Structure 1
Amino acid sequence: MATLYAGTSGWSYPNWKPKFYPAKLPATKFLQHYATRLNTVEVNYTFRHYATEKTQCNWLAVVPPEFKFSIKAHQNITHIRRLQNASELAAGFLNSLQPLTEAGRVGMVLFQLPPFLKADAALLEAFLTGLPKSGRLSFEFRHQSWFADPIFALLQKFNAALCVAESEKLESPDVVTADFCYYRLRKGEYSKKEREQYAETFRQHLAKNRDVFVYFKHEETPDGAFYAEELLGQPQNGS
């Protein structure tokens, strides 16, 4: 049975008090509280730092067994190497997630490419070919040239998800390339109608046995957390 995982990008936001976090809750308890209300989080910390074994074990200790962490791949892979000869580096990064992986808590690994990197099918195929054949991967392309059938076909070949990323600057096409889906909804505000439309889209994916991972924007207010909580409170049977 497919599952909807909904959350935000990160959890360490003191300005979410007192609307989401209790006013007197210490920062060390934020993740524990977050995990009582949402069932996944996107970790952006790993874009600049490798998460140590101790850090990962600390995360695992305060969340329930069904909670999933989606991990943003390190910038050395995506922004410095730009996928060029980066498969070995990426394999090392994936191996660094061993505590989370062994516990079955990695929802997805997200490779977010820089806006200036244009489509290169040969580069993408070489990178994917060199990666370990395990775990769920998603790619967020931020240049329009990537949104083309040859790229979608490559992702399908390797069962990697096209990250559907929506922001004020660029909107990715909603194309299914894997047996799971990844959404990054980055607008600051979503109307009730927009949220209902997304909820229906997610129900359709679930009805086709696709797990769905969706992450709202974080930052100044906890609105994204409330949007995610609203999604999780709705029927998920596709009816």
Structure 2
Amino acid sequence: MHSWIGTSGFQYKEWKGKFYPEGTSAAKMLGYYSSQFSSTEINYTFRSIPSEKTIQRWSAETPDDFRFSLKAPQRVTHFAKLKDCSEIMTIFNEAVSGLNKKRGPLLFQLPATFKKDAGLLREFLTSLPKKNSLSSAFEFRHESWFNDEVNEILADHDAALCIAESDEIETPQVATAKFGYLRLRREDYRKPDLNRWAKFVAAQASRWSEVFVYFKHEDTCVGPGFAETFADALRHG
């Protein structure tokens, strides 16, 4: 099982002198970040479809064995709420296709007010364009989604249930795809907490061919440290 570990985002001026060397410009951050971690989760794509120039820059500034997980556009998850989204998804997939093998999963993060609609989820997954397709992960933030029916729909389409932990909610630890997607969002993790998560991930080796794990960025710059400790625990677990 290959592990892709990092933080949600990378371009934070608050990290200078803590993670980034002092004086690191914004333009140099991705290059440095990708020398330390194998992946990042991009929130930019939630609000805007990146230009071809942006995609080319992301690709050029990172090594071949780097992966970008992308957050699905809010037009899909928050405005349309998964209804009639084939056109925008086709446009989005084409826009990010230049990342080629550096494309990780596409995270569909649904609003906390969005309650379970199994039929809509099935219809949405079925309608996703096949050309330039990406793996899909779903972060449900309303508890009505956490049941076997939804898990089966995800499994039918090899879509991952995003396993998310924050100070407010923790999702079920269920594997529904050939890959795993974790968002560990608590503001404080002790080493035993990270060891526990590393053991959980290691135990999925027979189910997952790869796993993507992201820690919250935090202005205090604790995310990179959590990611490093977790990666070490997974290597030596």
Give the TM-score category using the shorter length. over 0.9
Can you list the C-alpha shifts for 1:12-44, whole angstroms capped at 9, x where unaligned?
A: 101111110001111110000000100000000
- Do 1:205 and 1:212's aligned partners in 2 also have CA atoms closer than 8 Å? no
The counterpart of 1:107, out of the listed 104, 107, 110, is: 104
Amino acid of the structure 1 residue aligned with 2:129 = P
Which position in structure 2 is the counterpart of 1:121?
118
Which position in structure 2 is the counterpart of 1:210?
209
For 1:19 and 1:160, locate their aligned partners in 2 and report how far apart those are by CA, in whole Å.
36
Alignment length (residue pairs): 235
User: What is the DSSP-based 3-state SS (H/G/I as helix, E as strand, rest coil) of the residue aligned with 2:204?
Assistant: helix
For 2:184 and 2:29, locate their aligned partners in 1 and report how far apart those are by CA, in whole Å.
22
User: What is the DSSP-based 3-state SS (H/G/I as helix, E as strand, rest coil) of the residue aligned with 2:107?
Assistant: strand
Which position in structure 1 is the counterpart of 2:144?
145
TM-superposed deviation, 1:87: 2.8
- Do 2:40 and 2:214's aligned partners in 1 also have CA atoms closer than 8 Å? yes
Which position in structure 1 is the counterpart of 2:94?
95
Which position in structure 1 is the counterpart of 2:158?
159
- Do 1:206 and 1:212's aligned partners in 2 also have CA atoms closer than 8 Å? no
For 2:128 and 2:227, locate their aligned partners in 1 and report how far apart those are by CA, in whole Å.
31
TM-superposed deviation, 1:64: 0.6
For 1:234 and 1:185, locate their aligned partners in 2 and report how far apart those are by CA, in whole Å.
15
For 1:190 and 1:82, locate their aligned partners in 2 and report how far apart those are by CA, in whole Å.
33
User: What is the DSSP-based 3-state SS (H/G/I as helix, E as strand, rest coil) of the residue aligned with 1:97?
Assistant: helix
TM-superposed deviation, 1:208: 4.4
Compared with structure 1, are the counterparts of its residues 208 and 121 closer, same or farther at alpha carbon in structure 2 (3 Å cutoff)? closer
Which position in structure 2 is the counterpart of 1:198?
197
TM-superposed deviation, 1:207: 5.1
Amino acid of the structure 2 residue aligned with 1:82 = K
TM-superposed deviation, 1:235: 5.2
Can you list the C-alpha shifts for 1:109-138, whole angstroms capped at 9, x where unaligned?
A: 000001111000000011000013443110
For 2:207 and 2:74, locate their aligned partners in 1 and report how far apart those are by CA, in whole Å.
34
TM-superposed deviation, 1:209: 4.5
For 2:63 and 2:228, locate their aligned partners in 1 and report how far apart those are by CA, in whole Å.
16
TM-superposed deviation, 1:92: 2.0
For 1:200 and 1:23, locate their aligned partners in 2 and report how far apart those are by CA, in whole Å.
35
Amino acid of the structure 1 residue aligned with 2:11 = S
Q: TM-score, normalised by structure 2?
A: 0.95
Can you list the C-alpha shifts for 1:30-83, whole angstroms capped at 9, x where unaligned?
A: 000000100000000000011111001111111110000000000000000000
Stretches of structure 1 lacking an aligned partner (at least 5 in a row): none
Amino acid of the structure 2 residue aligned with 1:57 = Q
Aligned-residue sequence identity (percent) comes to 43
Which position in structure 1 is the counterpart of 2:231?
232
For 1:86 and 1:190, locate their aligned partners in 2 and report how far apart those are by CA, in whole Å.
37
Amino acid of the structure 2 residue aligned with 1:131 = L
Amino acid of the structure 1 residue aligned with 2:5 = A
Which position in structure 2 is the counterpart of 1:8?
7
Stretches of structure 2 lacking an aligned partner (at least 5 in a row): none
Which position in structure 2 is the counterpart of 1:188?
187
Q: Which sits farther off after the overlay, 60-69 or 209-218?
A: 209-218
User: What is the DSSP-based 3-state SS (H/G/I as helix, E as strand, rest coil) of the residue aligned with 2:137?
Assistant: strand
- Do 2:194 and 2:229's aligned partners in 1 also have CA atoms closer than 8 Å? no
